[in-house]
Amino acid sequence: MNQIQWFPGHMAKARRQVEEKLKLVDIVYELLDARIPIASANPMIQNIVKDKPRLVILNKSDLADNNETAKFIEYYENMGVPALGVNSLSGNMSTAILAKTKAILRELSEKEARKGMKPRPFRAMVLGIPNVGKSQFINHLAGKAKAKTGDTPGVTRMQTFLRGGNFLELLDNPGILWPRFDGERVGMLLAMVGTIKADLIPLEAVADFGLSLLIDKYPDRLMNRYDLEALSVDQRALFHKIGINRGCLLQGGGIDYDRVYKLFLHDLRNQLLGPMTFERITDNVSL
Ligand SMILES: Nc1nc2c(ncn2[C@@H]2O[C@H](COP(=O)(O)OP(=O)(O)OP(=O)(O)O)[C@@H](O)[C@H]2O)c(=O)[nH]1
Ligand SMILES: [Mg+2]
């Protein structure tokens, strides 16, 4: 993965570019990763978007726990921030997104109609941290693979408007914002789902973090997947057990822990333990 390095200068530039583009649009689609809605949010979003209408998109909702996605949506809506869960890969959410957009922008349409203006497509821009699925989301709405996607952050360059049905125009070049940098936990979550380059943090630390999250939030799935009879508090012992059950052995017979960690993270990222959400609303959300 080609990691964008965010330095203060880059952040200022990204912010400026987004602020320029904001003038061109009626609404902002703020994309979050439904598995980590808090960690994948840009900390300055409110400050950057200001009073431009905003719709929070919990993207990659196919990878997340539906119950938890519903709770996050309810939470945002209660705070006055409209939100929707979306699977940009294979779902068909265009109608729901357009309907929600129209509802959010109703006042604007009415105002324009009173001024005698003809109905026009709304203009939207997509905002989010690298790799959250901005280009995929645009393609989903535009109906074809028009924006370039890839699992490397930072693949998008050009700037035009794409048609998303008859009522929407999307800024082709999405606004890329930096992730949170406040604390180890956020970095771990981003590395765990594969949003930031995994080797920025030692493999063992990411796997260890993931294991403790699963012990806390999805213990049954963990035990089922790896045939564990009990979840001891000693994580090294659990990885040892997983290593034995999965045949991650060194030539001399010891456990190949690196392989165990990789296998575990691969399973996590590829939904082999089912769709999961790694944060809860109670984990101190700030909008
Ligand atoms: N399962 C699933 N994968 C998704 C979804 N949306 C995007 N992806 C995948 O996530 C990866 C990143 O998607 P992009 O659309 O390239 O992300 P981006 O935000 O445009 O990334 P940058 O342009 O690099 O900032 C790709 O491998 C997509 O296939 C989704 O809703 N569900
Ligand atoms: Mg992109």
Domain count, the chain: 2
Whether residue 159 is predicted with pLDDT greater than 70 in this model: the reply is no
Residue 188 lies in a domain: no
CB of 59 shorter than 6 A to ligand 1:
yes
Confidence at 59, pLDDT banded by 50, 70, 90: very high
Residue 195 lies in a domain: no
Same domain, 209 and 141: no
CB of 128 shorter than 6 A to ligand 1:
yes
CB of 132 shorter than 6 A to ligand 1:
yes
Confidence at 157, pLDDT banded by 50, 70, 90: very low
CATH number for the domain harbouring residue 129: 3.40.50.300
Same domain, 166 and 70: yes
CB of 69 shorter than 6 A to ligand 1:
no
CB of 105 shorter than 6 A to ligand 1:
no
Residue 192 lies in a domain: no
Residue 221 lies in a domain: yes
Measured from the alpha carbon of residue 130, the closest ligand is 1
Same domain, 141 and 261: no
Residue 244 lies in a domain: yes
pLDDT, one tens digit per residue, over 66-83 is 999 999 999 999 999 999
Locate the ligand 1 atom nearest the alpha carbon of residue 91 and give its number: 31
Same domain, 229 and 113: no
Per-residue confidence (pLDDT) for residue 240, from 0 to 100: 95
Same domain, 19 and 142: yes
Residue 35 lies in a domain: yes
Same domain, 39 and 162: yes
CB of 223 shorter than 6 A to ligand 1:
no
Measured from the alpha carbon of residue 90, the closest ligand is 1
pLDDT, one tens digit per residue, over 210-245 is 999 999 999 999 999 999 998 877 999 999 999 999
Query: What pTM value is reported for the model?
Result: 0.90
Confidence at 154, pLDDT banded by 50, 70, 90: very low
CB of 151 shorter than 6 A to ligand 1:
yes
- Give distance in angstroms: CA of 157 to centre of ligand 2: 8
Same domain, 144 and 53: yes
Locate the ligand 1 atom nearest the alpha carbon of residue 63 and give its number: 1
Same domain, 60 and 110: yes
Measured from the alpha carbon of residue 270, the closest ligand is 1
Nearest CA to ligand 1 atom 10: 133
Same domain, 159 and 210: no
CB of 155 shorter than 6 A to ligand 1:
yes
Same domain, 134 and 221: no
Residue range 41-69: mean pLDDT, rounded:
96
Residue 276 lies in a domain: no
Measured from the alpha carbon of residue 35, the closest ligand is 1
Locate the ligand 1 atom nearest the alpha carbon of residue 148 and give its number: 16
Same domain, 31 and 172: yes
Locate the ligand 1 atom nearest the alpha carbon of residue 154 and give its number: 24
Locate the ligand 1 atom nearest the alpha carbon of residue 61 and give its number: 31
Same domain, 262 and 147: no
Residue 104 lies in a domain: yes
Q: How far apart are CA 63 and CA 33, in angstroms?
A: 9
Whether residue 148 is predicted with pLDDT greater than 90 in this model: the reply is no
Task: Write out the residue range of the structural domain in which residue 165 sits.
Answer: 8-176
Residue range 7-12: mean pLDDT, rounded:
91
pLDDT, one tens digit per residue, over 89-144 is 987 888 899 999 999 999 999 999 999 999 888 999 999 999 999 999 998 888 76
